[in-house]
Structure 1
C-alpha cells in the first residue's frame, strides 16, 4: 500500500515541445510537427487561404501567381506592417516554401503535409540563420501552431497564451540548437 503523504508524480503542465533542430540542406532548421484528423487539402486551406489563415496568425494580400504576396501578422497586433513574402515552392496540398524579410532579417519557411488514413501530419521548417536564436524561434512557432490547432478544434485562440511557451520551451530549443551544432 502506498503512503498517502508521498506525492504521486503528476503529468507535466504547460506546453510540450513538438519539435527539434535538425541539419538541413541550407543549415540548421527548426522542425515542428503537428497532426490533424483531417485531409491534407483541409489543413492546406488553414495554412494558405487568407480567411482561414487570419483566424490564427494573419492574412496575405496580392496575387500569389506572381510569386509574391504581402503578409500581415495580425496575431501580434491589430495594425501590422506588411511583410513581402516570396513564394519559392507551392505544390498544393502538400508542399509550400517561401522567404520573408523584415529589416536585415530573412526567414526561410516551409511546410509539408503528409496524409495517411485520414490523419495529416504537418511538418513546419524554418532555416535558422546565424542570428536566429532557437530559444525564441522554437517557442514562437510552437505558440502559433498551437493557435492553428485551437482554431481547427473550435477553441478560441485567445486561450493560447504566449508566456507559457517561451518560459516552458526555451531551454528545450536551446539544447536542440546546441545538439545540432
Structure 2
C-alpha cells in the first residue's frame, strides 16, 4: 500500500535540520517519475512549473493548491530520469528539495529530503509536505486525496505535536 512511516523524520545535523519522508507504492519507478515531472500529472497533486526541465533550467513554480497560489522562481539542480530530481526555489530561507527514486522489487520508493537552516522549527513544513505527499499518493495509485487542510490538520497534526 501507499506510504511507509507516513510522518516525516527530522534529524538535527551539523549543517542544519533535515526533514525526510519515505513513501512507497506498488508501481514501477517510471510511474512515480511521471507524477513528479509531467505537467498534466504534477498539477493534480502540487502545482505547475513553467520553465526549462533540465539541469540548470530555471522557471516559475506555483503550488496551486495553496490558499493564495504564488509563482516563485525555481531552478532544476539535477535531473536524472527516472531516479533523481533536485530543485531549488526562492522562498523563505531558500529551499532545496531532493527527490530520489528506487525500485525495490515490485515497489517504487521515493526518498524526499529537505535541509533547513540550523535551529529551524520544521513542524509546519513537515505537515505541509506530508499533505502534499498524500496528494502524490493519490496521484500515483489512484487512491483518495487527503482531506482539506483544516480537516487534515485535525487528523494528522497530533502526530507532529500540532492540532
Whether the TM-score (by the shorter chain) exceeds 0.5 is: yes
SS at match of 1:142: helix
Question: In the alignment, which residue of structure 1 is the partner of 2:148?
Answer: 161
Task: Give the superposed CA RMSD.
Answer: 2.3
Shift of 1:167: 2.2
Kindly state the Cα deviation for residue 152 of structure 1 after the two structures are TM-superposed: 2.3
Measure how far apart 1:151 and its partner are.
Answer: 2.3
Moved over 4 A (4+): 23-26
Residues 33-65 of structure 1: per-residue CA shift (max 9 Å, x gap): 110111111101101111111001101112223
> 38-47 vs 56-65, which deviates more?
56-65
Structure 1 residues 106, 131: CA separation in 2 closer, same or farther (over 3 Å shift)? farther
Q: Which has the larger radius of gyration?
A: 1
Q: How does 1:1-181 map to 2 (within 5 A)?
A: 17-22=6-11, 26-65=15-54, 66-77=56-67, 80-102=69-91, 105-130=93-118, 132-157=120-145, 159-163=146-150, 164-165=152-153, 167-171=157-161
The number of residues matched between the two structures is: 154
TM-score, reference length from structure 2: 0.82
Quote the offset at 1:131 in angstroms.
6.5
**1:142-163: CA deviation from partner (whole Å, max 9, x where unpaired):** 1110011122232453x42323
Unaligned runs of 5+ in 2: none
**Length-normalised TM-score, structure 1:** 0.75
The answer to whether the 8 Å contact 1:97/1:108 transfers is yes
**Contact 2:86-2:97 at 8 Å conserved across structures:** yes
Rounded Cα–Cα distance in structure 2 between residues aligned with 1:37 and 1:137: 27
Q: Which has the higher helix share?
A: 1
Q: Counterparts of 1:121 and 1:35 in 2: how far apart (Å)? A: 4
Is 1:134–1:170's contact at 8 Å kept on the other side of the alignment? Answer: no
